[in-house]
Structure 1
Amino acid sequence: MSNNYYYGDNVNMYGGQGNRGIVKTQVGTGAGQPDPALVAALAELRGLIAELRAHVPAPSVPLLEESLPAISADAAVPAQERHRALLAIAGIAGTVGAVGQPVAEAVRVIIGMISG
């Protein structure tokens, strides 16, 4: 018995003609450029996280820091990695109550944008 675990794309092609590979439909404006609204939302979230740092427990700060690269506007960030980082940020924001509410709301909006 074999177990197959796939993260990201998995393509198997056997024979055929005119195979063109994977056609991806991703959030963005084409030519590898991210959606300007997403870029703005991510920038706003990064600012909110900077404010949130002072209010979270010390052990949570490194997790926030580790999540920052995944919420860059760089289109090369894998969607699953970005989603995981957003959920971690929202979880941390939820632990500090009303202070974390703007961060949690920003995460909700961004997840809506990238989920389609």
Structure 2
Amino acid sequence: MSGDNYYFGDSVTMHGGTGNTGIVKNQAAADPSPVAPALQEAVDELRRLIEALRDQVPAASAQAIDDSLPALTTDAGTAPQERHRALMAVAGIAATVGAVGQPALEAVNRILGLLGGQ
């Protein structure tokens, strides 16, 4: 097998010269997949519900809700594990306050279902 060459990806060989600029790819990143309208609606509803819930929970729980808000979005830049952590935090708070938190808990479960149980 001596002398066999296997190349994967780009390979550039330059012999002398000046002004070499390297490889110009001219590739565009693919657009992230659009957010399903049902998921966007569910996230918007959850955010509305937890804003109302926030005023009815102890200060420590309100702070946990505030800390979770940045990850409760459909933005593709949000890491799935961060979103899941935030959803679980909100679900835990909603579950501890009983009937007042039930709508928020149901909204979290709806989002988890739309995300495939993430």
Q: TM-score, normalised by structure 1?
A: 0.71
CA offset at residue 17 of structure 1?
Answer: 5.0
Q: Which residue of the partner structure matches residue 3 of structure 1?
A: none
2:90 maps to amino acid: I
Q: Which residue of the partner structure matches residue 69 of structure 1?
A: 70
Q: Which runs of 5+ in 2 are unaligned?
A: 1-5, 10-29
Distance 1:16 1:88, change over 3 A: farther
1:105 maps to amino acid: E
Distance 1:16 1:103, change over 3 A: farther
Superposition CA RMSD, Å = 1.9
Q: Within the alignment, does 1:89 sit opposite 2:84 as a pair?
A: no
1:115 alignment partner, SS class: coil
2 CA distance for matches of 1:37 and 1:87? 20
4+ runs of 1 displaced by more than 6 Å?
Answer: none
Q: Which runs of 5+ in 1 are unaligned?
A: 1-14, 19-29
How does 1:43-58 map onto structure 2 within 5 Å? Answer: 43-58=44-59
Distance 1:31 1:49, change over 3 A: same
* Matched residue count: 91
2 CA distance for matches of 1:45 and 1:100? 11
Q: TM-score, normalised by structure 2?
A: 0.70
1 CA distance for matches of 2:74 and 2:92? 21
CA offset at residue 68 of structure 1?
Answer: 0.5
Q: Which has the larger radius of gyration?
A: 2
